[in-house]
Structure 1
Amino acid sequence: MYLTRFRVNIARSGARYLLSSPQRLHAGVLASFPGLPSDPAVRPRILWRLDHGARADVRLYVVSPDRPDLTHLVEQAGWPTLAEPDAPGWESRHYQPFLSRLAKGDHWSFRLTANPVHSIRRKDGEPTKRTAHVSPRHQLGWLLKQRERHGFDLLPGVAPDDQDPLQRYAVVVHDRRDLAFRKRPEDPAPATEEKSKDRPNKPVTLTTTVFSGRLEVTDPDALRNALTQGIGRGKAYGCGLLTLAPEGQAG
């Protein structure tokens, strides 16, 4: 497994073109892996996420079974004239040594961009419909439901006895984005979970949010699976990638 970081040069028109559609960036990420199967059913899981820092600081993170070649992204959306053989414009590190060190009881800072959704039925007899959570409190409620399955718990926050979960846990829910874009016939099909009955050129809407905070490892194997396979839906569109960092640092 590899964890890759790439800094996006948002001053370039190619970068703005990619950032304008998760589908385009999804295709750009997949193009980093020669020989990748076209069938999503047999394609290995590749996770990616965009982190928006300061105004000009946008970073792309990728977790993948194989080391990617991001040369095309450097040429389109990076700093190609600064690239050198030992610093080609991105950084890839072996992920397995870190994953193998995870232990029950460890504390980490974390960051996750997710697509928190739930299924509702507007009236009896109708099929359920998947709907996005839009308020920070409901989005955090979604994250709390993921804890046991994915091998972590949220650490106490500034007011651990408070009835408000936004105060009870060491997590900040922020940077909600309501995305709208179209699937294009020339783009590779997204992951199986996203295919459903969507038609090419059909409008796609997606609500994403960022969770930043502190967690405790409760099940290392389950957490390793979450780190490499993702959490929740929307993985083809930049959701689901959880990353960890030492406490006090950004995940």
Structure 2
Amino acid sequence: MHLTRFRINTARVGARRLLSSPQMLHAAVMSSFSEIPPTGNDGPRVLWRIDRNSQAETYLYVVSPAKPDLTHLVEQAGWPETGRWQTYDYQPFLSKLAAGDRWAFRLTANPVHSIRRTDQEPTKRTAHVGPRHQLRWLLQRQENAGFKVVEKPAEQRLLPEGDEHELIIHDRRQLAFKKAGQRQSVTLVTATYDGRLEVTDPDALRRTLTRGLGKAKAYGCGLMTLAEA
């Protein structure tokens, strides 16, 4: 497994075009591999995420089974003369994960649930748009994903109920874009989670980090990364 980071030059027209369309950016990411990577749920797959930091810098992160070549992205959305990308061997980090470890994490996800108002209606996938429901979406998946979000000490909680976890939800977006060959737009709700977690099942967490969490993985959702807390 590999973890890649690429800084995007947002002053370039090509970069702004890519950032406006998850469909186009997905195609650009997948073009980084000479052979078509696997996309199923039974093994590691290509995951990607856009991060924006406090210095107004924009980064593309990619986790992938094969090592990518981002030359085309440097030419289209980077600094062709001076810009490169960094790719790291992800396996040593994944191998050392252990139960009880605590890490800071970031996840951009597509928090959705399935509803059906009547027995006659088909099941419909609907996005969670409120922060409380988006938080519940993550907490409902943490056990199977191999971690638990760290809870705050009682004296640090702002309210008797709510705000119990060391977690913030930000950069909540609703994106609309068109798939290739389709007239109707696709609407995608995303939210970014920053917080602290404790590892409960290292194998399950390794699967989460390499297979993604939630839906819309092709469109920049599902990639969780860890850093020292």
Q: Which runs of 4+ in 1 moved over 6 A?
A: none
Q: CA RMSD in A?
A: 1.9
* Cα contact 1:134–1:207 (8 A) shared by 2: yes
Find the residue that maps to 1:81 and give its secondary structure.
Answer: coil
SS in 2 for 1:16: helix
Greater CA drift, 235-244 or 113-122: 113-122
Q: Pairwise mapping of residues 141-152 of structure 1 onto structure 2 (< 5 A)? A: 141-152=136-147
Q: Corresponding residue for 2:161?
A: 164
1:28 to 1:214, Cα distance in 2 relative to 1, 3 A = same
Question: Is 1:77 matched with 2:77?
Answer: yes
Distance 1:212 1:79, change over 3 A: same
Inter-CA distance 75–158: structure 2 relative to 1 (3 Å threshold): farther
**Which among 171, 175, 186 is matched to residue 171 of structure 2?**
175
Shift of residue 202, structure 1, vs aligned partner: 3.1
CA contact (8 A) 1:9 1:78 kept: yes
**CA distance 1:44–1:155, change in 2 (3 Å):** closer
Report the alpha carbon displacement of residue 44 of structure 1 after superposing the two structures with TM. 6.1
Residue 54 of structure 1 deviates from its aligned partner by 3.3
SS of 1:82 mapped into structure 2:
coil
Equivalent residues, number: 226
Unpaired runs of at least 5, structure 2: none
Structure 1 residue 52, shift from structure 2 partner: 1.4
Q: Is the 8 A contact 1:10 1:56 kept in 2?
A: no
Deviation per residue, 1:42-65 (Å, 9 max, x gap): 996100000112363110000000
Q: Once structures 1 and 2 are overlaid, which stretch shifts more, 47-56 or 203-212?
A: 47-56
State the shift of 1:72 in Å: 0.4
1:41 shift after superposition: 5.5
> Which deviations, in whole Å up to 9, do the C-alpha atoms of 1:66-90 show, x marking residues without a partner?
110000000100111114xxxxx10
- The aligned counterpart of 1:229 is 211
* Structure 1 unpaired stretches of 5+: 84-88, 186-199
Percent of pairs with identical residues? 60
Quote the residue 1:65 is aligned against. Answer: 65
Whole-Å separation in 1 of the counterparts to 2:153 and 2:22: 35
Pairing 1:213–2:195 present: yes
1:168-206 Cα deviation digits (max 9, x unpaired) = 000001110000000013xxxxxxxxxxxxxx3431100
Structure 1: distance between partners of 2:183 and 2:55: 31
Partner of 1:117: 112
Q: Does structure 1 conserve the Cα–Cα contact (< 8 Å) formed by 2:102 and 2:197? A: yes
Q: 1:158 to 1:178 in 2, by over 3 A?
A: farther
Q: How has the CA–CA distance of structure 1 residues 41 and 112 changed in structure 2, closer, same or farther, with 3 Å as cutoff? A: closer
Alpha-carbon distance in 1 for matches of 2:175, 2:107: 17
